[in-house]
Structure 1
Amino acid sequence: MKTFFFPLLLIICSLSCTAQSVKKFNLDFEYLKSDTDFAKDWIQWGTYQVSIDTLTVQSGKYATQINSKNSEGEFGGVVYQISGNYEGEMIKLEGFMKTKEVKEGFAGLLLRVDGRNKILAGDNMEERKISGTTNWTKYIITFPYPKDASSILVGGILAGQGMVWFDDFKLFIDGKNIQSIQEKEKPVFKADQDDEFDSGSNVEFPALNEKLVADLELLGRIWGFMKYYHPEIGKGNFNWDYELFRMLNEYTHTSKNKKRDMILLDWIAKYGRVEVCKSCKAKASNAYLKPDLHWIQNANINQELKNQLLHVYQNRHQGEKYYLGLGPAENPEFLNENAYSDMPYPDEGFRLLSLYRYWNMIQYFFPYRYIIDENWNEILPEYIPQFLSAEDELEYEAVVLKLIGEVQDTHANLYDGNDKLNIWKGEFYPPVHVRFIEDKLVVTDYYNPELKESTGLEIGDVITHINDKPIGEIIEMIKNYYPASNEAVRMRDLSADLLRSQKDQINIKYDSGAGTKEKTLDLYKLENLDYYSLYRKNSKKSYKMLDENVGYINLKSIKTADTKKIKKDFKNTKGIIIDIRNYPSAFVPFSLGSYFVSSPTQFAKFTKFNINNPGEFTFKKGDEIPPSDQTYEKPLVVIVNEITQSSAEYTAMALRAGKNTTIIGSTTAGADGNVSPILLPGGLRTLISGIGVYYPDGTATQRIGIIPDIEVKLTIEGIRAGRDELIEKAIEIIEKKNERH
């Protein structure tokens, strides 16, 4: 017995000691992922090469290296996320860093603390301006620990060019190493413990008729109203998705209005008495968009139910909310929304939930609801039959996409969960890039230059038919499934899919300029094409001098560090052209825009929603460009078109603030403002523009886009001749302005 017990004791002691020596957090990079040469639980940021180094280390076996060589973009980083569920007054990060030939930027440790809805505090050592070549050095970041922290990000960053190594991070709260600190007890929400309908809604709908659709419309309104106003739901005491399923069977099988109203009153009463709210403020007098509650008074319901709903609103939930948060740009953040990804074709109850969820998010949180062409109040009853009758996964995805299109926001589309729609569009892609020029589908480039000969198509060829169907007829069939703020961007997105197919060949008719021709066009799987090359930022220099002593800047490949060189190299030019027919690779509205103003200049203002009064939007202070040390006095011409979207449009607004700026081109995408993600049943993910963006005088940009001062569009003749007519026009404008001065 003794000879058996002694070795067993050693084994137990060995296992116990080993377990105690294992650190909770891999802050020294010593644990690697089993399948990659990367530190376990670390996340890569940016585009630079990040790898484990076994030779250059501070201690232990491994350090992490970031290298800008042969990388696109302008920064790289590694971060480690830790729960912020700790108590304390001060947080401190220690870490070692070594640099080599860091230039045009900086290297630094990074420490950031986030709340549920926004960044609370942070430091990346940018102000210390560490560059050049340095040996291993210990650095420290410290600041007060925010009380509402939900997560802590620890890491390292390289901005600009060069190499940097990181090793041996240590994190402390009030001087105690986080490896040994116990977390606070996390709040437990009752809503998270409700799993009754995880396998299905168990709702059986009777045959739809006009009365039932009207009743379901009423229920959808009340369901959304309660979700965002009722205190008990706001606290997370109920899974509001499943509460819908609990009452739907009785509700849908009631034909009398009196009985229906009693069901609704009992349903509201189930969630407890709503106490008088002493902190609920009246609607802001300067709100440009207010909650739409007219439906309560106009609804065909009894007065008691109307009074009960109004009582909930007047005493609505205040403070932190289970289903709603405030994003970094004060845009709505939709929290604790289950996408039910394990049911790609949701049952009828979940499909109705999908409609209710999306409709109410737009109703209360879309800052541009008032400029939707269709009356949003009429959308809900229109789509109830369509959602309930969707017969398979493809039909469900299609009707969701069609609904998304109703909000007329280019940011709004299906980005995840749309696999059946992608199959329907086709897994084979054309080797040529096409755009609508002069309302015709024109070949403008080749994704893979080596395929040029085999396509048999020349730049400037006009495609008129696909598989014997005229292009216009095809567009009419599918245009409702291409959400967009305006027609220009709808045609932009639609053109990218017109030549896709479920087969590897299509028959096309086209006009080459020398008559109509017909051919079979080979298509390719996406992995065999450099499909995104025309949109992807690249390593080409972002600026150059044109022959006419005009500076040209292409924001597709701009780097923040370029702005300093641009100001130096272009100071004696006759004019500058900034091309934003792209998505900028760096955020430069201020660093570049400051070159064209001589005094602080406001160029945009924004809306924010009231988290304590969903549906209310007010204006907040706008953005202002500070002037740089020198102001460029010569003409600036900015080129835009339908590809100019979101951040690109914001940049154009900033550049327009210059007193010598002329914007030319065509209307932009008309979708500006930070986006808010939305999850829908079936594993679907979409977005909306979450804040309103306006010029300082209140002129809107959403749907309208950036309207050019001079409209200039490419022509088929110019495309065939290889000319860029917009750059030609920009040079002409600069020459004429110089002649006048």
Structure 2
Amino acid sequence: MKKGRRNRKSLVFFSILLILIIAGCSTSQGAHQIEKEKEPNFDQGSGMIFSSLSEQKIVDLAKLSKVWGVVKYYHPKVVSGDKNWDYELFRVMPSILEDHSDVNSILYEWVHTLGNKSVSGDLEQQYQFSEDSIQLSPTTDWSNDEEYLGTDLSLELSMILESNIAERKQAFVSFNDESPFPIIHNENPYNRMKFDDTGYRLLGLFRYWNIIEYYYPYKDVIGEDWDQVLLEFIPKMIDGSDYDSYLMTLAELTTRVHDSHVNLMGKNRESIIEYFGTYRLPVNFVEINNQIVISTLFNECGLEVGDIVLKVGDNSIDELLEDRRKYISQSRDDTSRDFFNALFRTHQKNMDVTVIRQGKTINISATSNLQEINYFVDTKSQAMENGEIFYINAGLLEEGEIDNIMKKWWDTKGLIVDLRNYPSSALDYKLAQYLIPSEKEFAKVSFPNRAVPGEYYFEPLTSGKLQDTDGEVYKGKVVILINEHTISNGEFTTMLLRKTESSIVLGRPTAGADGNVFRITLPGNIITKISGIGVFDPEKKPTQRIGVQPDIHLDPTIEGIMEGRDEYVERAVELIKDGY
């Protein structure tokens, strides 16, 4: 019975997953706000403004954040929407900040007053998962540490952690019906936040930290001690007193999850990249052998294709890279669309750029402009090699075009599927129907257990069955092109299509940010995003921060770039003509 229920749910899960991943968009955030109890004394501010703390008080505030997070996601009175848990934070924080305060006793009394009679330890069978199917477990062992919390508080939290609440429609993180995707539409954006208000600034930090703690499927691969990140950012957050310092501290915080799905939009929906300048050099670039090489010119600006950039203005290219990476999250150092858009942004229209051009170091007076840059490969889908090969540009496909292509070019010697662009229409399952004759597991995804915040469980994904091809599959070779711009649905599509028996994946590792996008609202009406569900290979190995690996690695060359050649397509054609 348990297995039957799980399978029926899986059909719903996979349908929703496909829609979201193909769309490449985040779950929409509704306007609904929970009608929690009113606290007029906090409507105009928390009443706390301070700019320095002792080491002990930093530790105490970190403990407050962790306890606040457990109660926020586990306690029935908070999950039900009966308590304005943000305001409760402001209510207890002054006591925590007092010198020589008994923090454990204060926190115990604070939590205990919520009551625990409604806390149930029963977990519904549908939310019980075998040890083998658990991808991630809550990191709440600290709640059992009586030396850290004291006996009373430790026992209180341990009991709350057994609440196992599946009904979460009024919770800060909720779920729609049978959908496995978490959504946040009950967080107050606090549009009128005063940015010198230390309480609200810390609320922004605590809210984000706990979302990653309980609703981030890749917390175990971020490569950071998340507890230490909290301790590090408490003094950083209280150090500023204006909007810019708040926004940039949040930006720096988001980089610590190392996720190329992350971006940050300010209160006026300005992108974080705008803080690096209004102007931008009208070029694309590529990293080759740890060098930044100009790969495309959109306008005459003084630079040339093939230039190796050494310095921009007063900053070396290494200083520029380090500065951008401080505020723009990347799964890997060679990825992130925001990073590529921000690197050559400037506040000045003209700037000096030092480059290596044909072996000589020269200084260029370069001209920037207001043009937005894209990284699309703009080669149209077309027949090549006298019709023996058909090239498919995933980023330029129209809805339904795959069916027409496969019917017309069914007898070709090979297909080149270019996933260096983000797919513009349904490609993954649609093309797989022509290439893969039967269901094959190509990935495992992990979803949050709605009854146990912090726990994620695996579900398998299989390829679609064949349709409209009389039981036949395409007999030609299939070469899939990927690089560092292949992200999310492009990575998902690569994992699926490489299950084709005669396929080869060619290029560079993908971005390492797979799955849908989870939208987060922070105080001050700041919006950010993270990867929302986990995507793994069938053996449960992660793709996050690693990327989908090519079968044949190929780096572009400076010579090829200068000659205007697409070395990826050239190599793919060679492979197909040679029969691999």
Task: Tell me the TM-score normalized by structure 1.
Answer: 0.69
- Aligned positions of 1:237-252 closer than 5 A: 237-252=82-97
Q: Which moved more, 1:409-418 or 1:562-571?
A: 409-418
Q: Offset at 1:523? A: 1.7
Q: Which residue of 1 aligns with 2:397?
A: 558
C-alpha distance in 1 between matches for 2:97 and 2:128: 35
The 3 A distance-change label for structure 1 pair 667 and 675 is same
Identify which of 290, 302, 315 aligns with 2:137. 290
Q: Which residue of 1 aligns with 2:3?
A: none
- Aligned positions of 1:300-449 closer than 5 A: 300-320=148-168, 321-326=170-175, 330-343=180-193, 345=195, 347-417=197-267, 419=270, 421-422=272-273, 424-447=275-298
C-alpha distance in 2 between matches for 1:430 and 1:610: 46
Q: Which moved more, 1:189-198 or 1:389-398?
A: 189-198
Answering whether residue 112 of structure 2 is matched by residue 269 of structure 1, we say yes
C-alpha distance in 2 between matches for 1:622 and 1:370: 22
Matched position secondary structure for 1:591:
helix
Deviations 1:467-496 (A, max 9, x none): 143212322333221201111205x64343
Q: Offset at 1:727? A: 1.0
Identify which of 602, 611, 627 aligns with 2:441. 602
Q: Which residue of 1 aligns with 2:59?
A: 214
Q: Offset at 1:555? A: 0.5
The answer (yes or no) to whether the contact 1:486–1:670 under 8 Å persists in 2 is yes
Using CA pairs under 8 Å that are at least 6 residues apart, name the structure with larger relative contact order, 1 or 2.
2
The 3 A distance-change label for structure 1 pair 577 and 617 is same
Answering whether residue 546 of structure 2 is matched by residue 707 of structure 1, we say no
The answer (yes or no) to whether the contact 1:584–1:647 under 8 Å persists in 2 is yes
Aligned partner letter, 2:107:
L
Q: Offset at 1:329? A: 5.6
The 3 A distance-change label for structure 1 pair 533 and 617 is closer
Q: Offset at 1:655? A: 0.7
Q: Offset at 1:457? A: 2.8
The answer (yes or no) to whether the contact 1:546–1:552 under 8 Å persists in 2 is no
Q: Offset at 1:559? A: 2.1
Answering whether residue 512 of structure 2 is matched by residue 670 of structure 1, we say yes
Aligned partner letter, 2:321:
I
The answer (yes or no) to whether the contact 1:202–1:349 under 8 Å persists in 2 is yes
The 3 A distance-change label for structure 1 pair 711 and 445 is same
Q: Calculate the aligned-residue CA RMSD, in Å.
A: 2.7
Q: Which residue of 2 aligns with 1:477?
A: 323
The 3 A distance-change label for structure 1 pair 292 and 723 is same
Matched position secondary structure for 2:365:
strand
C-alpha distance in 2 between matches for 1:192 and 1:731: 66
The 3 A distance-change label for structure 1 pair 420 and 607 is closer
Matched position secondary structure for 2:512:
coil
Q: Offset at 1:316? A: 4.6
Matched position secondary structure for 2:41:
coil
Q: Offset at 1:405? A: 0.8
In structure 1, runs of 5+ residues without a counterpart are 1-116, 121-150, 152-186
The answer (yes or no) to whether the contact 2:302–2:367 under 8 Å persists in 1 is no
C-alpha distance in 2 between matches for 1:695 and 1:439: 29
The answer (yes or no) to whether the contact 1:344–1:683 under 8 Å persists in 2 is no
C-alpha distance in 1 between matches for 2:343 and 2:454: 39
The 3 A distance-change label for structure 1 pair 118 and 484 is same
- Aligned positions of 1:61-100 closer than 5 A: none
Answering whether residue 432 of structure 2 is matched by residue 593 of structure 1, we say yes
C-alpha distance in 1 between matches for 2:162 and 2:265: 37
Aligned partner letter, 1:473:
E
C-alpha distance in 2 between matches for 1:278 and 1:439: 54
Q: Which residue of 1 aligns with 2:353?
A: 508
The answer (yes or no) to whether the contact 2:259–2:331 under 8 Å persists in 1 is yes
The answer (yes or no) to whether the contact 1:231–1:318 under 8 Å persists in 2 is no
Task: Tell me the TM-score normalized by structure 2.
Answer: 0.88
The 3 A distance-change label for structure 1 pair 230 and 438 is same
The answer (yes or no) to whether the contact 2:308–2:356 under 8 Å persists in 1 is yes
Aligned partner letter, 2:368:
L
Q: Offset at 1:407? A: 0.8
Matched position secondary structure for 2:201:
helix
The answer (yes or no) to whether the contact 1:118–1:326 under 8 Å persists in 2 is no
Q: Which residue of 2 aligns with 1:100?
A: none
The answer (yes or no) to whether the contact 2:324–2:342 under 8 Å persists in 1 is no
The answer (yes or no) to whether the contact 1:508–1:520 under 8 Å persists in 2 is yes
Aligned partner letter, 1:487:
D
The 3 A distance-change label for structure 1 pair 372 and 632 is same
Q: Offset at 1:596? A: 1.3
C-alpha distance in 1 between matches for 2:391 and 2:398: 14
Q: Which residue of 1 aligns with 2:475?
A: 633
The 3 A distance-change label for structure 1 pair 508 and 323 is same
The 3 A distance-change label for structure 1 pair 604 and 437 is same
Q: Offset at 1:206? A: 7.9
C-alpha distance in 2 between matches for 1:472 and 1:547: 46
Answering whether residue 69 of structure 2 is matched by residue 224 of structure 1, we say yes
C-alpha distance in 1 between matches for 2:15 and 2:189: 25
C-alpha distance in 1 between matches for 2:319 and 2:174: 44
Structure 1 or 2: more helix by fraction = 2
Flag the structure with larger Rg. Answer: 1
**How many residues in Structure 1 have an aligned counterpart in Structure 2?**
544
Identify which of 555, 563, 570 aligns with 1:721. 563
The 3 A distance-change label for structure 1 pair 371 and 662 is same
Matched position secondary structure for 2:90:
helix
C-alpha distance in 2 between matches for 1:371 and 1:546: 44
C-alpha distance in 2 between matches for 1:295 and 1:663: 44
The answer (yes or no) to whether the contact 1:357–1:680 under 8 Å persists in 2 is yes
Answering whether residue 502 of structure 2 is matched by residue 660 of structure 1, we say yes
Q: Offset at 1:514? A: 5.6
The answer (yes or no) to whether the contact 1:604–1:624 under 8 Å persists in 2 is no
Q: Which residue of 1 aligns with 2:4?
A: none
C-alpha distance in 1 between matches for 2:179 and 2:494: 19
Q: Offset at 1:195? A: 4.0
Q: Which residue of 1 aligns with 2:411?
A: 572
Q: Offset at 1:118? A: 13
Q: Offset at 1:430? A: 1.5
Deviations 1:657-710 (A, max 9, x none): 101110010011111111110011122111111111112222221111110001
The 3 A distance-change label for structure 1 pair 722 and 554 is same
- Aligned positions of 1:13-24 closer than 5 A: none
Matched position secondary structure for 2:343:
coil
C-alpha distance in 2 between matches for 1:616 and 1:595: 37
Structure 1 or 2: more strand by fraction = 1
Answering whether residue 129 of structure 2 is matched by residue 280 of structure 1, we say no
Q: Which residue of 1 aligns with 2:19?
A: none
Q: Which residue of 2 aligns with 1:168?
A: none
The answer (yes or no) to whether the contact 1:196–1:242 under 8 Å persists in 2 is no
Matched position secondary structure for 1:737:
coil
Q: Which residue of 2 aligns with 1:462?
A: 308
Q: Offset at 1:416? A: 3.7
Deviations 1:87-142 (A, max 9, x none): xxxxxxxxxxxxxxxxxxxxxxxxxxxxxx9999xxxxxxxxxxxxxxxxxxxxxx
The 3 A distance-change label for structure 1 pair 188 and 710 is closer
- Aligned positions of 1:106-125 closer than 5 A: none
The answer (yes or no) to whether the contact 2:49–2:196 under 8 Å persists in 1 is no
The answer (yes or no) to whether the contact 2:438–2:463 under 8 Å persists in 1 is no
